Amino acid sequence: MSGVLTLDDVRLGGKVVLYRVDVNSPLEPSSGAFLDDSRLRAIIPTLRTLQNSKVVMLGHQSRPGKIDFTNMEQHADRISRLMGKKVNFVPDICGEEAIQAINDLKVGEILFLDNIRMHDEENSMKKSSLEQTSQSEIVRKLSSVIDVYVTDAFAASHRNSPSLTGFFDSVPCIAGHLMSKEIHNLQIAVNDPPRPYIAILGGTKCDDSLRVAKNLIDKEIIDTIPVVGVVGNMMLWASGIDIGEVNKSFIRNALQDDFEDTWKMAKFLYDNHKEFFLLPSDIAVEVEGNRVAMNISELPTKYPIYDIGISTLQEIRPLMINAGCILWNGPASYFELPGFAFGTIEILNMCTESSAVTIVGGGHTSSLVSNRGVVNLVTHNSTGGGACLTKLSGGSMPVIESLTKSNDKFRSLLPSLELDS
């Protein structure tokens, strides 16, 4: 992969590898048990590639003040079971206990340091430059006892912190298998998609989804953007259709301080680029717990809009059958409610039945793909919600920037470091 070092570029046998992962996972509040371990499963291919190295894992779980802010012991235990080999938990990050444990590592062994967000620098340096993060205590201490840094923390790649971006100048920084796959597939979605290119944008994050739409339109690579879910509701509203006060209030409350800017963007996109958008032609509302179909011509409604309807799906289907590339980000419906999963499941089925390049863009949509066991039926199921949206909208990706800087510095030095493949 041009611009970034990957595991195919290096030999890491016998080397001490600091492996930054994002295994931040939903936990059951009372027991703390994993509700979804897909992020832990996603890093296993890289760990298997590193089986002849000395591996030091570093990651986070939630953030300070949250009920699910825990140490990484159970993450180490779960990875031990997935790998079939012991992963030792070390309740330290870069102090004497951690440094000693790293120095004592033998080839083939894996240890997992404690939650990196228990270190003040990781939380206080989010707005620092890459150069500033490289001077942090975390980087100075850990870089002194490692040979290389490998990252699969794609889900946090739109963020900046010492453990995510700070090692670029001290050791070669390498994209793991997961990171490489994310970069490769999302580059297709934003740079060179097979045409026709269809982007289905839904869910509740109207601001993020509309930034994605604008970026794809500005780059002149998109053919049609079906908008569904709350994004579809907002675009209906922006087109001049009264969707009812309950639905307008939901959008205002969901966006809060970002509402005015998002509303202006929705109006701009509809007024200037309406030819790209496919708006819902029918919907389903909830009336006393029941699904009630409604044509757009029947709006406004006093009931919440929770799904798209059959006519809308019939308009989307031929677009997907003929597509060369499909991007799907965000559910079409309040699919957790009985009776309102229909639109989302139908779009999922269209994606899995398509012969197009299919990219599912993180968050709830990706969880649905994983939970229904159809990951192998799409081209790419992203592990990063916010990171994926940031990449698709053309936003800043500090982790990828740090990988690029490290590549520029270290690629020519790999032979002298005895790291060349």
Joined tokens for residue 146: 């490692």
Which superfamily does CATH assign the domain made up of 195-355 to? Phosphoglycerate kinase, N-terminal domain (3.40.50.1260)
Q: Say what percent of the chain tops pLDDT 70.
A: 99
Contact 323, 356 (CB under 8 A): yes
Task: Determine the Cα–Cα distance for residues 60 and 151; give it in Å rounded to an integer.
Answer: 13
Task: Determine the Cα–Cα distance for residues 224 and 198; give it in Å rounded to an integer.
Answer: 5
pLDDT by 10s per residue, the chain, length 421: 669 999 999 999 999 999 999 999 988 888 888 888 889 999 999 999 999 999 999 999 999 999 999 999 999 999 999 999 999 999 999 999 999 999 999 999 999 999 999 999 999 999 999 999 999 999 999 999 999 999 999 999 999 999 999 999 999 999 999 999 999 999 999 998 999 999 999 999 999 999 999 999 999 999 999 999 999 999 999 999 999 999 999 999 999 999 999 999 999 999 999 999 999 999 999 999 999 999 999 999 999 999 999 999 999 999 999 999 999 999 999 988 989 999 999 999 999 999 999 999 867 888 889 888 999 999 999 988 889 999 999 999 999 999 999 999 999 999 998 888 7
Which whole-number Å values give the CA distances from 91 to 85, 96, 111, in the listed order? 19, 11, 10
Task: Determine the Cα–Cα distance for residues 203 and 334; give it in Å rounded to an integer.
Answer: 9
Please name the residues in contact with 242: beta carbons below 8 A apart, sequence gap of 6 or more. 299, 300
Extents of the domains making up the chain: 7-179+397-413, 195-355
pLDDT in tens, 141-172: 999 999 999 999 999 999 999 999 999 999 99
pLDDT in tens, 179-188: 999 999 999 9
7-179+397-413 fold: Rossmann fold (3.40.50)
Domain 195-355 in the same topology as domain 7-179+397-413: yes
Verdict on whether the full-model pTM lies above 0.85: yes
